[in-house]
Structure 1
Amino acid sequence: MFRHTFRALSHRAFRRYFIGQGVSQTGNWIQQVVLSWLAYENSGSALWLGLVVAAGQAPLLLAPLGGLLADRHDRRRLLLISHGLGLLVACWLIVLSLTGSPGLPALLLASLALGGINALEMPVRHAFIANLVGGTELLSNAVALNSLVFNGARLIGPPLAGVLFAAFGAPLCFALNALSYVAALHSLLRIRGGRRIAPDGKACLRQSFDWLRTTRPARWLLFTATLTSISLTPVMTLLPVYAQDIFDVGPTGLGQLLGASGIGALAATLWLAARRTPLRLEVSMTGGALLFGLSCIGFASNQIFWLACLLLAVGGASLVAVTTSSTTLLQWLVPDALRGRIMALHGMFYLGSMPFGSLLAGAIAERWSVPMAFMTGGATMLALTVLLAVQLPRLAREIEQTRRKAMAAA
């Protein structure tokens, strides 16, 4: 089954990129866990935790500008700039943590800066994949392997963060993230060749909106990304509260909870990477929405730690089934000339919805309870499942028709 899982790594440029991003994403997860833990530890408030998380997500509303840059300028150079800026923020956090625990204003500022950097990097990173694998034959596999990088880091980074933070404190965690940026910069500097897509100096955002207006499947994929993002935020935002107040397992337990989610996500990513074509991924997307909704509701009703890890593993797998399937289908549909801008809009809808979701989750947890926030996210995904199931036959036909038209015009 997994004979074709890693076929995109046959391209040397993509292989170097894959390794560098794997190291960098692991460092980012370590830093993200530590920032979330410090925010809740310093404030004792789920709402403050939501504010710090939202500060890192709010700048992602500017992602379309990053997509415009990706279609106008050299994508490799833009990635070098974004990784360099991320390295500076990591070094600043090292200094702050060595001179004392960073206060809430510093945590907010760091999250805001990292969110701005990610707004630039995210659409460029997605568009850059097409430069590396040379055409659409390996594109779906490269997209799945890109998700594998993220979810593999999600499996390794949080448990490692919990152990290192408990044993050595924040400075070492931030230092490891800084070193991971150095590794990513090194891999980008070594990338030569790959199929280059000529930048379009006349690219504008209106072209992407015109394409979306005439491409109904793409609009549904963006809608799916938005609701999934809002439903995901209780898990991403409020797990530190569960770790400290409900399970009483500390930062090590928080890392284990996130790591369990990463195991499920990694398994689902490998399954998706083994597929030879993106056909029928809309079915995986709908099934994943159903399982994710059920796992969130089950998690909210549970107070047993090992069962919580199992439910998060199911949730991680089903989340990947939704997000990676929708991203792959969108990459498969979009023309190369619009790739940066369309993937930026996808990122804006998915990641840019998280500030609203984080604030909503924090407010629900503050007003009612943390489990109620998880229940709300699960119910939203179940509603999305019903909508996708109703639209599924028509959506599948339109995806295939859109792709055939694009191939005929190429």
Structure 2
Amino acid sequence: MGGEALRACDYDGDVLVVGGGIVGLSTAYAITRAAPGTRVVVLEKESGPAEHQTGRNSGVIHSGVYYRPGSFKARFAVAGAAEMVRFCAEQGLPHAVTGKLIVAMERAELPRLHALVQRGRENGIPVRELGRAQIAEYEPAVRGVGAIHVATTGVCDFGAVARRLAALAEEAGASVRYGAEVRVIGRRGGAVAVRTARGEVLRARALVNCAGLYSDRVARLAGDDPGLRIVPFRGEYYALAAERAGLVRGLVYPVPDPAFPFLGVHLTRGVDGEVHVGPNAVPATAREGYGRRVVRPAELAGTAAWPGTWRLARRHWRYGAGEVRRSLSKAAFTEAVRRLLPDVSADDLIPAPPGVRAQAVLRDGTLVDDFRFVESRRMVHVLNAPSPAATASLPIGREVARRVLAQLDR
């Protein structure tokens, strides 16, 4: 695809945004606010917004307590949490600021808990340290040897947030097109052009890649080497039976292992009052592999062919074996839950819808632990946007908008 330089009237838009999850829609919204009159077209392959990571998570508005000071994650999560609460309040969307406990279940975890206290304070987050007896002030049914309370954590419905962002962007002049899977990307001179699965060709002055689970693939379609591969991990959840949901008042997390981006099996009371338990994280056999029987051979082969996959597996096989064990055995999963919530039995846990996390892995097997933005001519790629991307979606959208508008100015 390509051709001679196009006149402005020959473009279908100024910016094409690939991906209609919360990051792509926040980017479209941010562009319309920062540069009114900029023509934005969002291309989403599904029939509606937020069908994948955005609409399949625990709905937690993360405070930023876990993240390395100065990182994108820390900066965007701290600002984004407060902004997300304000946005939900202004737009009338369901949300609650519940606070959360991070609980040490054995004395060996206390040094890591104290390190989180320090990290939270460095990030400007109010953190209260609790002794064993004080845990019951917040969560009477939870057991631990110590904990910290993070007051700024909350919950919302990120799918509802994404739908509202789409509506606001459209009100400002953006176009959101569903059923528009991008199959071909080309650039020539001053134009970027894409062809969708339906054969439609659209041209613009710049493109933003917010394709989530397919962000690396979209980068390659554009002729850019992302230097990483998205390896999908399925997060499997249970929900507490309705008559047992009263065991949990808010949000309860174990002390995380700093070597991994996963937070362990935790307890989350959502805006609907349902308490989700999980997730455990296991390799998925498809990028949209929400069930164990969903296998896409080409995607699985691509994951297996990436050198980083095997290096990651060799490095962390013990951790991975524990996750797989909890996936295959409800008894093992229940055992993990009972470390936090002793009164729970296997009969109290009801299977809940799973999600898939797009985890970027480098060639050497390193898990990419921060947001990753890569620019090339007339393109901005969002190549890694893991949790807390939904929490931080408003400042992330502004950052991506700033980058692509700077390219248009040049």
Instruction: Give yes or no for TM over 0.5.
Output: no
Q: TM-score when scaled to structure 1?
A: 0.27
Larger radius of gyration: 2
Structure in which a larger fraction of residues adopt helix: 1
Q: TM-score when scaled to structure 2?
A: 0.27
